[in-house]
């Protein structure tokens, strides 16, 4: 029953997050990472959803003051590797009711959006078609850079 409850909540959270403005998901680090804006245009990560049973199911930024309040609650801890930037992690889904999860995750989204660079916000303000075009161009450029970097690394490794 607990496994079913965890999957149900993870799926509910995923659907909720994807309903927020400018949210993109990627599969990374053994889970799902949600971004405000595509990372190719300078978007920022705002939720990490772990899909592995037995792991912390979710982590998100809370801000310095809110983090201090949240870690006093049973079931909320400083997020591993991310505590220094004021992220928290829930040990289980039942630490909040659904409405409280909505409030926490909406606040994390708003806080992250506020920290986006002006150029990223400008792209997000464009019509969807223009956004997609810019994101595609940026991803292509990043892939080309990665290929060049890999080729350079391969050449320097072979020269040793």
Angle at 63 (CA atoms; ends 60, 40), nearest 5 degrees? 55
How far lies 72's CA from each of 87, 95, 98, 154, in Å? Answer: 14, 12, 20, 49
| Domain extents in the chain | 2-117, 126-160
Residue 135: its pLDDT value, please? 86
Contact 113, 35 (CB under 8 A): no
Torsion (CA) 141, 144, 148, 153 in degrees, nearest 10: 100
Q: pLDDT 10s per residue in the chain (160 long)? A: 444 444 458 889 999 999 999 999 999 888 899 999 998 889 999 999 988 766 789 999 999 999 999 999 999 999 999 999 999 999 999 999 989 999 999 999 999 999 999 999 999 999 989 988 998 888 888 888 877 766 555 555 555 5
Residue 1: its pLDDT value, please? 40
Q: At what angle do helices 2-18 and 98-114 cross, to 10 degrees?
A: 40
Residue 151: its pLDDT value, please? 59
Cβ-based neighbour number of residue 33 at 10 Å: 16
CA 34, CA 42: separation in Å to the nearest integer? 13
Residue 4: its pLDDT value, please? 43
What is the dotted CATH code of the domain comprising 2-117? 3.90.1150.30
Sign, CA dihedral 28-33-36-37, equals positive
């Amino acid at each position: 029953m607990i496994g079913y409850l965890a999957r149900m909540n993870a799926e509910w959270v995923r659907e909720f997050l994807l309903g927020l403005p400018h949210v993109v998901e990627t599969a990374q680090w053994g889970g799902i990472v949600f971004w405000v804006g595509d990372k190719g245009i300078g978007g920022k990560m705002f939720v990490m959803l772990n899909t592995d049973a037995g792991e912390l199911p979710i982590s998100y930024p809370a801000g310095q003051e809110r983090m201090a309040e949240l870690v006093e609650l049973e079931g909320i801890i400083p997020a591993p590797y991310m505590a220094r930037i004021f992220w928290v992690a829930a040990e289980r889904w039942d630490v909040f009711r659904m409405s409280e999860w909505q409030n926490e995750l909406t606040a994390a989204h708003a806080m992250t959006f506020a920290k986006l660079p002006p150029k990223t916000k400008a792209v997000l303000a464009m019509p969807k078609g223009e956004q997609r075009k810019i994101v595609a161009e940026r991803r292509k450029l990043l892939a080309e850079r990665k290929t060049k970097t890999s080729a350079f690394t391969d050449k320097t490794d072979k020269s040793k």
